[in-house]
Each structure stands twice: as structure tokens, then as C-alpha cells.
Amino acid sequence: MLTIWGRLNSHNVKKVAWFAHELGIDHVRHDVGGKFGMDAAYLAKNPNALIPTIEDGDLVLWESNAILRYLAARHGGERFWPADPAKRALADRWMDWQFSYADAQRDAFVNLVRRSPDTRDMAAVARSAEACAKQMAILDRYLAETPWLSGEDFGIGDIPMGVYAHTWLTLDIARPALAHVERWYAQLRERPGYASQVMIPLT
């Protein structure tokens, strides 16, 4: 059985938990990190003191997008891990692109979700919101030409930004109306794994 270590209100844990549901993998998840802390046994698995980490048989693996690629290659078949390297790369690029978006969103998320109102840096929130809007406009232009980040069908490329899009559309920040992102988000919301593993309270 696949074991996922990490609290579900982490963006990176959401990615893995959602994808496990998409793939129908029998799994168990244990809360680690944040208020749940990390014990010595967990740190022996992941010396970075970050989440998530998975155990699958004898394999212990950390780094969320590496975990997604592993699960896709092992369990996803052609749908999620195409044999054609070019087709695979077109979806895969959005997994790496997500990291630059995460940098843009960080200040808004940390201030509005992790900090009390009296300690928030609202100037940093405004700068972060503006940076997010610029990144999301890039996503919108791409989604104007294709239904999914992975191409014609939902795939692994939609997972990382799908998690971050929910936060962007939930945070109390100014944001432009982006019709193609909103259409894509509406499609994601129809997926049971997205509803149960991603669309949860941010705190």
C-alpha cells in the first residue's frame, strides 16, 4: 500500500493525495508537518524536514513533483505517462513552471493564511497578487488554445497548477477575470479527487 506522509493543507501534499485518488491507488495518509510536527522517524525518511514523503514498498521518495512523475510512470499508463517524449514534455513543463508561480503567490498566502491580521504585510500581499495575476495571464493564454494544461485531456500537467489555482481563486486578493482559467478551474471542480483533496479550508 502507498503511504503518504504530510498534512493535507499543504499545497505539495494536496498534489500527491489528489493524484493518488485520480489513479485509484490504495493508500493511507498520515498528518505530518505544521501543527503535527515531525518526529525522528519522519526525519530519517526525509532529512529536508519538508512534506510530502511517500513510501511505496521499499521506495522512500520526497519532492512532490518527483512523486507525481513516479506515480504516473508506475500507475498512470499512457494516459498520464505517454510513451512519446514530446507529448510527455508538453504536460511536464507546467509542473516545473508551477514553482515560479508558487514564488509569486507565497507572500499573499503566508500573510493572509498563516499570519494573524495584526502582523500582516498588506503591501507584500498587493505585490504578490500583482505577480500572481501576471503569471495567471500566461496560463490563461495557453488555456485559450487547449482544454487542459496536459493537452486535449486532463493529465499530470494539470495537477500542480490545479492545486495553486484553487488557492489563487480563494484568497482575498484582487485578481483579473481570466475566462479560460476559470473554465479550466470549473472542470477541475467536477473531479471527485479535486473536491475532496484540494478544495478544503486553507488553514
Spatial distance between the Cα atoms of 196 and 153, rounded to a whole number of angstroms: 21
* Architecture of the domain whose range is 2-80: 3-Layer(aba) Sandwich (3.40)
Spatial distance between the Cα atoms of 187 and 149, rounded to a whole number of angstroms: 12
For the CA atoms of 48, 49, 52, 56, the dihedral, rounded to the nearest 10 degrees, stands at 70
Same fold, 2-80 and 85-195: no
Q: Given a cut of 80, is residue 188 above it in pLDDT?
A: yes
Q: Given a cut of 90, is residue 202 above it in pLDDT?
A: no
The domain 85-195: what is its CATH number? Answer: 1.20.1050.10
Q: Angle 174-198-185 (CA atoms, 0-180°, nearest 5)?
A: 55
pLDDT digits (tens, 9 = 90+) for 30-56: 999 999 999 999 999 999 999 999 999
Tell me if 166 sits within 8 A of 173, measured CB to CB: no
With residue 60 as reference, give the H or E element that holds it: strand 59-62
**The whole model's pTM is what?**
0.95
Tell me if 105 sits within 8 A of 169, measured CB to CB: no
Segments making up each domain of the chain, as ranges: 2-80, 85-195
Residue-averaged pLDDT of the chain: 96
